Every structure is written in structure tokens, then in C-alpha cells.
Amino acid sequence: MNKTVNNRAWFLVIPVVALVAFNALIPLMTVVNYSVQETFGDNTFFWSGITWFEKVLRDPRFHGALGRQLFFTGIILLIEVPLGVAIALTMPKKGPWVSVCLVLMALPLLIPWNVVGAMWNIMALPDIGLLGHTLNALGFDYNYTRQPLSAWLTLIAMDVWHWTSLVVLLSYAGLVSIPEAYFQAAKIDGAKPWAVFRYIQLPKMKRVLTIAILLRFMDSFMIYTEPSVLTGGGPGNSTTLLSIDLVKTALGQFDLGPAAATSLVYFLIVLLVSWVFYTLMMRNEES
């Protein structure tokens, strides 16, 4: 018996393809075009080949911004993933408090990124901010507008406050999906809490944790709004991440060629790491 194929269904896909092409492919092609050409105004372009890529990859400014970006992402993952798992383990699995905890965990994620940066900017001001004034009153020399270490600590604390909830919710979803029979068997065998976590909960959570790490890597590596509003890349260039440096090059200096080459290198780094995580996820599916 031959199966009837309804080709009219493709008409439902065409609007989505057109929207993706308009929002993604066309801007990407524009960036590629700028990355291999030079312009001196009046829309007059000259072919430059890979000159901009060579300049960017040899630029100490790019190396510094990339190093700060990698450092920030590494610190964020080291803090937020274990902290999110720990919080998820303490959340109730049954009862009326489940909804309360889930709502409280979701609240930071609902706040717009620019509002988060503005909130922490005001709160951390050394003279009138609640956080800054309290720390200085306790004897700490804190001024994130002048001290690079204070700026970094404030930036990390802001991101941990804003995005740890995402790891918590994903980890909690993985925990509640574990069948109760595993815990009953562990209780009969007299397993201690650490053994239950190591041999039951953690292996069953590896898929959601892989997704959580991937999402947090992508978000933290491409972060721009919050640090831009909070520190603007300062003091000096101490918190100038790669995203902030890219915007300064493109809009501040209007160097479209180097900015386009930097954005493509930026994109390839994210794509490469995402592919690695995807490969790990597929291996987890097969195991």
C-alpha cells in the first residue's frame, strides 16, 4: 500500500525558513562580507582577504579580552553548577513547598538583563549602595568603580545570583525524574547520603547537567548586557570581556572589518565548544 505524501505541508515551513534566513543567515553573510573587505566610506569596498583575521589573532587586545572571557566563564561554571546541584538536593520533592521553591528559583530568571545590571550597579555603589556601604562599614575596602578585584567579585556575584536558578531548576527536574525504587533499594542496603548521591543521583543527572553546563557556557561566554551596565568594562580594561571589546571595536571605533573578523572567531569558538558538548550528550544517550 502506497503512502500518500502531502507536499502542501511544506507551505507551513516556508514562513519559518524565511524568518530564520532574515534574522540569521542574512546578517551572518553581511558579517562575512565585512570580514574580508575594507571600506573607506561611501560604500566603497576593497578586497582584503584574511588580513583582518590575521590582525585579530595577533592582537594582544584580543588575547586579553578572550582570556578575561574564558576566566569569567570558568569561574561561573565552577561556582554555579555545584551550587545549583546543592540547592536542588535540598529542595522538597513533595508537598506545598515545592511550588513555593520553584517560584522563588524562577524569579531571578524573569528579570531583564539590563535591569539586573542596573540593580547591582546601584546596590554596589560604595557610598550610597546597600551592598557597598555595608561592606565598607564592616571594614572592607570595597569600591568596584576603582578596584579591579572588587569589580570582578561584584560581576561574578551578580551572575551567580541571576543564573544559578537555571542550574537549580534543571538539576531539580533530573532529581524528581529518578524512580523511587532506587532510593528504596539504597535504604534497604543501608547506603549513606553521599553514596546515594554518587551512585544514584549523579549518574541519573548527567544528561541534564550536560545541558546545564552547555547553556551556562553559552550564556556566560556571550554575556554583554549585565557587565556593560554594571562596570562598562572598567575600571580601566579589567572587566572588558570579549563581547564588550567587540562592541567597542564595532560601534565605538567603527572598525567594521576587525569587528566582523572578531565576531566570526567568537562564533566559531562557541560553535566548537557546543559541538563538543553535543558529542558528549550523544555518548551519554548511547551509554
Residue 113, C-beta contacts closer than 8 angstroms, at least 6 positions apart: 225, 226
C-alpha distances (whole Å) from 71 to each of 150, 165, 220 are 16, 21, 10
Tell me how far apart the alpha carbons of residues 68 and 47 are, in angstroms, rounded to a whole number. 32
Tell me how far apart the alpha carbons of residues 143 and 137 are, in angstroms, rounded to a whole number. 12
Q: For residue range 59-118, what is the model confidence (pLDDT) as tens digits?
A: 999 999 999 999 999 999 999 999 999 999 999 988 888 889 999 999 999 999 999 999
Residue 107, C-alpha cell as written in the block: 524569579
Beta-bridge mates of residue 45: 39
Instruction: Tell me if 256 sits within 8 A of 250, measured CB to CB.
Output: yes
Is the torsion defined by CA of 25, 31, 34, 35 positive or negative? Answer: negative
User: Would you write out the chain's pLDDT as a tens digit for each of its 287 residues?
Assistant: 556 666 777 778 888 888 877 788 888 888 888 888 887 666 677 888 888 899 999 999 999 999 999 999 999 999 999 999 999 999 998 888 888 999 999 999 999 999 999 999 999 998 888 999 999 999 999 999 899 999 999 999 999 999 999 999 999 999 998 888 888 888 888 888 888 888 888 888 888 888 899 899 999 999 999 999 999 898 988 999 999 999 998 888 888 888 999 999 999 998 898 888 778 777 766 65
Tell me how far apart the alpha carbons of residues 97 and 213 are, in angstroms, rounded to a whole number. 27
Tell me how far apart the alpha carbons of residues 87 and 160 are, in angstroms, rounded to a whole number. 13
Omega cis (within 30) before 126: no
Tell me how far apart the alpha carbons of residues 77 and 69 are, in angstroms, rounded to a whole number. 12
Neighbours of 160 (CB within 10 A): 17
Which stretch of DSSP H or E encloses residue 38?
Answer: strand 37-39
Strand, helix or coil for residue 191: coil
